[in-house]
Each structure stands twice: as C-alpha cells, then as structure tokens.
Amino acid sequence: MVTIARELIGKVLVTHFSGSLTAGRIVETEAYAGITDRASHAWNNRRTARTEVMFGPPGHAYVYLCYGIHHLFNVVTSRAEIPHAVLIRAIEPVAGIAQMVQRTRKTAEDPSLTRGPGNLSVAMGIKTLHSGQSLLSAGLFIAREKKRLPAGEIMVGPRIGVDYAGADAQLPYRFYLRNNAYVSGVNTTRQK
C-alpha cells in the first residue's frame, strides 16, 4: 500500500456529481497500514460500521468525518480483510475550478482551495455518503495522467498529525510533489 501511495502521485482524481465535473492532479498522499499501524482506524483489527469499508475489496472510497467537520477521502488498496488505505491529502485543480471556488465559498482561486484533505473534499464535493463507492463509477474515479513525472520530484517523509501513534508516526508513509504550492503541512506555507 506504500507503493500505491507513491503511484497515486500525479494521477487525476475526478468527480462528476449532479452534472458538475471537477478534477485535480494528486500531489500528496499518505499510506495507512491497517491493523499493524497505530495511526490507522483499523489498528488492532478495529471493525466498526465506519471502518468496514476498509475491510472490503480494493478500489473503493473510504470517506470519514474527522473532528466532526472534515470529510477525508481515502482509497482502499488491498484485498478484502486487509484494511489498507491511502489518504489523499492534496490535489492541484485541473478542471471545474469555478465549481470548486463555489463549493468552498471562496471568492477566487488560491492554493488553499485544494490543499489539505478537508479542503480538497469540499472542493471536489466528496462527502461521507460516498464512502464505499467504487472508484470505477462514473461519478468518482481516478484517471491515469498522460505525461510521466520527472524523476526526483516525489518526496517522502513522516505523516502529518499522527504523533499519538508512537513509533509508527515516524514511518516514511507520506508522499508529495516537491515545490508544489498545493501540498499541505509544514515546509509548505513558505515558498510564496
């Protein structure tokens, strides 16, 4: 699932809800390693109505509510009973920017539009009701990007906001594009 987190960088996430098409290139992801990963909702084989989607087949969306406010979008990456997932943390808008601005109630486009998992879900119209939906469906899918990424552009580091996970917080499970304005977290607020 770590491999998949890296491979998702540069691919294009597309939503097409109620006639509104929005798309963005994935620029930041994090891998969550299921029952052995303290940072995962599925740690220690925790199964609830919410996490059950992760125990299902791959290629489906796992969307959950964080802090009661933010809808965070994940891709289930392994076969049934293996609850691995990849959190999509940031995208770079490709299509439907006017729609994204409208959904986020901003007045103009700026990098905060799709920077961070909570923000990108608002911009893309992704909600918890999409949890369990196949990523092969017409309204929600991930497309291959035509052009290859230049070598050396993908950076690796520890995940954001998982300090409580002990040693697992140090795992190099976060991937992001170098010098991309839409990447969230520390070291990214500068760079203009």
What 8-state DSSP symbol labels residue 104? Answer: H
162 near DNA, judged by CB under 7 A:
yes
The answer to whether 116 and 184 have CB atoms below 8 angstroms apart is yes
The answer to whether 74 and 85 have CB atoms below 8 angstroms apart is yes
49 near DNA, judged by CB under 7 A:
yes
Q: How far apart are CA 73 and CA 85, in angstroms?
A: 10
68 near DNA, judged by CB under 7 A:
yes
66 near DNA, judged by CB under 7 A:
yes
Helix axes 117-124, 97-104, angle to 10 degrees: 110
132 near DNA, judged by CB under 7 A:
no
Closest distance of CB 119 from DNA, Å? 5
Per CB under 7 A, the list member of 70, 94, 109, 158 interacting with DNA is 70
116 near DNA, judged by CB under 7 A:
yes
Q: What is the widest separation between alpha-carbon atoms in the chain?
A: 45
Q: Which residues bind DNA (CB under 7 A)?
A: 30, 32, 39-42, 46, 48-51, 62, 64-70, 72, 74, 85, 87, 112, 115-119, 128, 159-162, 164-165, 184, 189-190
